[in-house]
Amino acid sequence: MATCDTCGNTYDKTFTITKGEETKTFDSFECAVQAMAPACAHCSCRILGHGVEAGGQIYCCAHCARESGHTDLADRA
């Protein structure tokens, strides 16, 4: 049995995720998302899809990027 790096739960069905040189152990996808998914630079929600990037920051959507002053992004072309 292994211990989840996010919540500390000891569980017999843990899994590991490697991102770059970092490997972490989790007991659920929820814990993995909280630990490893990037957060939106505007609203801080976890970004589970591709998100959008502007000015070296990542945002969950074009709306949040615009709210942060990046007017060149749009939700639809």
Which two structure tokens, joined as six digits, stand for 15?
Answer: 């899994």
**pTM of the predicted protein model:** 0.80
Same domain membership, residue 64 and residue 52 = yes
- pLDDT tens string 51-68: 999 999 999 999 999 999
Same domain membership, residue 47 and residue 23 = no
CB 25 within 8 A of CB 15: yes
20: containing domain = 1-36
Number of residues written out for the chain: 77
- pLDDT tens string 6-52: 999 999 999 999 999 999 999 999 999 999 999 999 999 999 999 99
Same domain membership, residue 63 and residue 43 = yes
Max Cα-Cα span within the chain: 49
User: CA–CA separation, 71 vs 5, rounded Å?
Assistant: 38
Q: Which residue, 26, 21, 18, 19, is CA-closest to 2? A: 26
User: CA–CA separation, 16 vs 27, rounded Å?
Assistant: 9
**How many structural domains compose the chain?**
2
Same domain membership, residue 47 and residue 28 = no
